[in-house]
Amino acid sequence: MARIGIVGSEGRMGHALAQAIEASGHDVAGGVDRGHGDIAQLAAKSDALVDFSSPLALQATLDSAIAAGIPVLIGTTGLEAEQHAAIDRAANRIAVLQTGNTSLGVTMLAHLVREAAARLGDDWDIEIVEMHHRMKVDAPSGTALLLGEAAAQGRGIDLAGHSERGRDGITGKRADGAIGFASLRGGTVAGEHTVYFAGPEERIAMTHLAENRMIFARGAVKGLGWLIGKAPGRYTMPQVLGL
């Protein structure tokens, strides 16, 4: 039984996390939100922190977890390169798990995408389409980027150097070897992702549909239970789920 502190506790995921933590037999140590609550005090009375909030909260979450000597799971998306570097530095001091998607289904999908990208030739174009609710603030989604990374790893290429995002106007033809991203926003969609492999005269579409946020919350709680007691380092959902 662990005490888990929630950063972003009043948000959509914060509420789902509280429900999943209670259902798992762990305890909610408390929560903080923008301008509400003291993150250092929360960390001091927690066995682990979970942060599904905003990239702006990241540094305070990492600093507080380090000061308290507890692990942290970061589910927030929209992180920039310097924020990933901050996570790498924190992982020298504490156990950190950062992921754009904590669900079992997406973790498995990423595995399948990596395999498909490795086995299909370069003449199979890769496009990733995601749809989310109208309140989402970042694009492409963290999951789309995670799936893009998996595809790039399978191909043995660097995602940053091969991404095509936000096509508009006279774009010219598709760059050879590109991984394309398209984002749709509307309604209350919890999360839909399709990875297309478009080859000569045939096409594979791999889709994950999130029916609600509890899949993310349950995955996060599983990750937290796995993370507590681990040596400092940066860990991943495939490690948690043994995939």
Ligand X SMILES: O=C(O)C1=N[C@H](C(=O)O)C[C@H](O)C1
Ligand Y SMILES: NC(=O)C1=CN([C@@H]2O[C@H](COP(=O)(O)OP(=O)(O)OC[C@H]3O[C@@H](n4cnc5c(N)ncnc54)[C@H](OP(=O)(O)O)[C@@H]3O)[C@@H](O)[C@H]2O)C=CC1
Would you name the residues annotated as active-site residues?
132, 136
Contact positions with ligand Y (CB under 6 A) in 50-89: 52-54, 56-57, 75-78
Cα–Cα distance measured from residue 116 to residue 226, given in angstroms and rounded to the nearest whole number: 29
Give the dihedral sign, CA 96/101/103/107. negative
Q: Where are the alpha helices (DSSP H) in the chain?
A: 12-24, 39-44, 58-68, 81-90, 104-119, 142-155, 214-227, 237-241
Give me the least distance between CB of 174 and ligand Y, in Å please: 28
Residue closest to 100 by CA, chosen among 122, 83, 115, 120: 83
Residue 46 binding: pick among ligand X, ligand Y, none (C-beta 5-8 Å cut-off by kind) = none
Contact status: 42 vs ligand Y (CB under 6 A) = no
Contact positions with ligand Y (CB under 6 A) in 134-153: 142
Give me the least distance between CB of 101 and ligand X, in Å please: 5
Contact positions with ligand Y (CB under 6 A) in 155-184: none
Residue 11 or 180 with smaller CB distance to ligand Y: 11
Cα–Cα distance measured from residue 231 to residue 145, given in angstroms and rounded to the nearest whole number: 27
Residue 14 binding: pick among ligand Y, ligand X, none (C-beta 5-8 Å cut-off by kind) = ligand Y
Residue 64 or 102 with smaller CB distance to ligand X: 102
Residue closest to 138 by CA, chosen among 15, 231, 18, 53: 53
Residue 180 binding: pick among ligand Y, ligand X, none (C-beta 5-8 Å cut-off by kind) = none
Contact status: 100 vs ligand X (CB under 6 A) = yes
Contact status: 114 vs ligand X (CB under 6 A) = no
Cα–Cα distance measured from residue 113 to residue 133, given in angstroms and rounded to the nearest whole number: 24
Select the residue whose beta carbon is closest to ligand X and give its number. 191
Residue closest to 89 by CA, chosen among 125, 65, 108, 114: 65
The residues of the shown chain that bind ligand X, judged by CB under 6 A, are 77, 100-101, 132, 136, 141-143, 191
Annotation: binding site for (S)-2,3,4,5-tetrahydrodipicolinate: 133, 142-143
